[in-house]
Amino acid sequence: MSNDRKLIRFTAATGFSVVLEFRSTEEMKEYEEKIKGAGLECINLADFNLNFDQADLFMDMRSLECREQFDLEDWI
């Protein structure tokens, strides 16, 4: 099992910087395609640290609670 983190960052339609972390590459790619399909720039991150990196919103999509609270359509 790989320890590589699956992270993407995009600037939402609201102008907020959003970072999402996923359990699987397939799930990350699904979100990435939706974001790019909405005309927003989306980049892959090698790492992200809440204490040192900048983001208006960080959601750990590996958590069921975060998944239920985050609606991508609200951000794109």
User: Is pLDDT above 90 for 59?
Assistant: yes
What is the DSSP code (8-state) at residue 15? Answer: S
Helix (H) or strand (E) holding 57: strand 57-60
pLDDT per position as a tens digit, 6-58: 999 999 988 999 999 999 999 999 999 999 999 999 999 999 988 788 899 99
pLDDT of residue 51: 76
Identity (one letter) of the amino acid at 54? Q
Structural tokens at position 30? 């699904």
**Contact yes or no for 70/8 (Cβ under 8 A):** no
